[in-house]
Chain A
Amino acid sequence: MTSRWASFRAGLEEFYAGPYRRTFARARREEDDLFRMVVLAEALGVPDPAAYYTVELMPALYEDFHAWHRRMGMDRSPLEHVGCC
């Protein structure tokens, strides 16, 4: 009985969340892209007064870097020191 109730609740949650999962994932990706832009600003040639601090965040961005520059319409890596492709 408890497990049936739990699976009913799980089904209800899925019924709520399922149809919009994609929209949320896309919105999240857009925010992440904006964040990535800010962090990479100095490396891309835009002066950034906070670069000293943001450089610490760089390693966190490497993992998705390849997918990002392809998404932004650049076939090859725009940064010399990041040779992802």
Chain B
Amino acid sequence: MNALPLLLIGLAIFAGGYVLYSKFLGNRVYKLDASFKTPAHELQDGVDYVPTNKFVLWGHHFTSVAGAAPIVGPAVAVIWGWVPAFLWVTLGTVFFAGMHDLGALWASARNKGRSMGTLSSRYIGARGANLFLVVIFLLLLMVIAAFAVVIKDLLISTPSAVIPAWGAVAVALLVGQAVYRYRMNLSLVTVVGVAALYGLILLGDAVPVELPDPILGMSPATFWIVALFVYAGIASLLPVWVLLQPRDYINGVQLFVGLGILFVAVLLSAPTVVAPAFNDTVPAGTPDLLPLLFVTIACGAISGFHGMVSSGTTSKQLDKETDARFVGYFGAVGEGMLALGAIIAAIAGYRTMADWKAVYTAFGEGGVGAFVEGGGEIVNSGLGLSASLSSTVLATMAILFAATTMDTGMRLLRFVVQEAGEVAKLKISNGVGTLIALAAGMGLTFSQGADGAGGLRIWPLFGTSNQLLASLTLSIVAVMLIRKRRNPAPALVPLAVVFVMAFWAALAQLGDLYDARDWLLLTIDVVIIVAAVWVAFEAVVAMRRASQEPPEAADADVTEKAEVTG
């Protein structure tokens, strides 16, 4: 099997999903209305509520939802063979993620741009809102820990990426100064910034940095993890214009460049798929495909995190309600494309099946390392860059995505800690809040060994809580559809599948974690299971209530909004 037809089939499925299914959703299910006054116009304030051009808004939405997660998940999941991963990513994007992201955007736009947390208290009940905070806290904590391990692995396996990965921080600092202090032309700064980043990649490729062992009394792995957390802690405390904003921006631009490089390379080189379609001889200790596939690939197929972005910021900037189809659904398609690229890199970048099996020796092995190595091979033969330079490009890309998620996640985690402090009548300063967030993140990472070796054990658990969040959002969308007496099946079917898989996966991991004597993750898993039962209970009650109540009036969104307070 050649990867080129695979890529084209995948793209055709995405295109079909966008042209046909999203049109069906927009016309028949959500009934998007171009004359509906969106929150961006109704509440326009120049700060949160700003009507935005749909292409720019799509750019924001896509770059905030896509990152390292749609690379890591698919690259780990191909261990079961490429067919399951391919099907779940393509069909998941079309029928699950697109539906979910568009639904969250629509639900929020119909409710003054309120967040999912607030919507859950309107449609599911007040307890639902508390549940949200718990799930989000766990989600942030796990993503920070997992990404610290991912970056550490890449810095060690691809030493040539060390200079560009850390140099990108300096580039971002300079871009921030150029934009805010010297008010330079942004187009020029962008070109120079991206060129500088690629210059650093060339430099890094010429000067690989391998740390001596031990360094400052630590192994290189421990040192990188500590350094990453120190960086994330400092970055999250700096004023955002200094580092986070220019870094997010450069990364957004870089996402398009990287995606272009990967796809063009596959088109030009047409590599052969060496990985098995279905892997009958998975390494010992690999969990069963069912249900773990569905939580290993969360971002890239369906991810609750998208609902947070859709409802938190994107919905407040929607110019016309009909734009939601492009912004929400096509945003999910963009992430699906990244996941598809990751799958192809991890299955078609090796010469023989034996080479491939030598990399995928255990569950969690391979992963993003295989993406870098295999993708590097494809870029090498497609674009003619040298093999080491190609892997440096991809490793830098993956590290930058993961690192921006880490520092932003650290900032959000600090906010959650401070919010929890307010509930307990304690004023937690920024510094102390960051220290608590750092301690929690490092504690979780180092619970997987001093070098974070077992860190990817966190990954399926992260996927599970992400899917739980998606279930909560889909329940809200389903309740809204039932109240409006529209066909709820497009929401209920994905809801049932995602919930059953996430719950089953949480139960399956209970046994694995008990066998591994990993009490910390076991506790987190138990919390997730309790939260899942809670979600199911509340959602069923809310849906029953919605179907017994008389249907809401056609203009209910407009009149009822007054009853919800902020």
Contact = CB atoms under 8 A, between A and B. Distances in A.
B29 interface: no
Nearest to A11: B56
Contact of B179 (A16, A21, A22): A16
Interface stretch (B8-16, B164-172, B245-253): B245-253
A12 B241 contact: no
Interface in B22-64: 46-48, 50, 52-53, 55-56, 59-60, 64
Contact of A18 (B50, B55, B187, B190): B50
B48 A15 contact: no
B317 A18 contact: yes
B240 A11 contact: no
Interface in A1-44: 9, 11-16, 18-25, 27
A9 B141 CA distance: 37
B143 to A, nearest CB: 18
A61 B132 CA distance: 39
A25 B47 contact: yes
Contacts of B244: 20
Contacts of B47: 21-22, 25
A20 B248 CA distance: 10
B186 interface: yes
A22 B48 contact: yes
Interface string B220-240: 000000000000000000011
A11 B186 contact: no
A11 B55 contact: yes
B561 to A, nearest CB: 21
Contacts of A15: 56, 59-60, 249, 252
A19 B50 contact: no
Interface of B is mostly: helix
A18 B48 contact: no
A23 B240 contact: yes
A85 B313 CA distance: 32
A24 B313 CA distance: 15
B245 A11 contact: no
Contacts of A19: 60, 64, 245, 248, 313
Given A19-B60, A19-B245, A19-B313, A12 B50 contact: no
A18 B186 contact: no
Q: How many residues of A sit at the interface, in one of the four size bands?
A: 10 to 19
Contact of A12 (B48, B64, B187): B187
B186 A21 contact: no
Given A9-B187, A20-B240, A23-B240, A14 B245 contact: no
B77 to A, nearest CB: 30
B245 A18 contact: no
B415 to A, nearest CB: 11
Contacts of A25: 47
B56 A18 contact: yes
A66 B304 CA distance: 39
B186 A12 contact: yes
Interface in A37-85: none
B52 A14 contact: yes
B186 A14 contact: no
Given A19-B60, A22-B48, A24-B241, A12 B190 contact: yes
A20 B50 CA distance: 12
A24 B242 CA distance: 12
A66 B330 CA distance: 43
Contacts of B186: 9, 12-13, 16
Contact of B249 (A16, A22, A24): A16
Given A9-B187, A12-B187, A15-B60, A20 B48 contact: no
Interface in B50-99: 50, 52-53, 55-56, 59-60, 64
Interface in B179-194: 179, 186-187, 190
A11 B53 contact: yes
A13 B186 CA distance: 7
A81 to B, nearest CB: 30
A44 B244 CA distance: 38
- Give the interface centre of B47, B187, B239 by most chain A CB atoms within 10 Å: B47
Nearest to A20: B245
Contacts of A9: 186-187
A28 to B, nearest CB: 10
9 contacts: A11-B56, A15-B59, A18-B52, A19-B64, A20-B241, A20-B245, A22-B47, A25-B47, A27-B239
Interface of B: 46-48, 50, 52-53, 55-56, 59-60, 64, 179, 186-187, 190, 239-241, 244-245, 248-249, 252, 313, 317
Given A16-B245, A19-B313, A21-B46, 17 more contacts: A9-B187, A11-B53, A11-B56, A11-B59, A12-B187, A14-B53, A15-B56, A15-B59, A15-B249, A15-B252, A16-B179, A16-B186, A18-B50, A20-B240, A20-B244, A20-B245, A27-B239
In the A-B complex, the 8 residue pairs with the smallest Cβ-Cβ separation, listed nearest first, are A25-B47, A11-B56, A20-B245, A14-B56, A16-B249, A23-B240, A22-B48, A20-B240
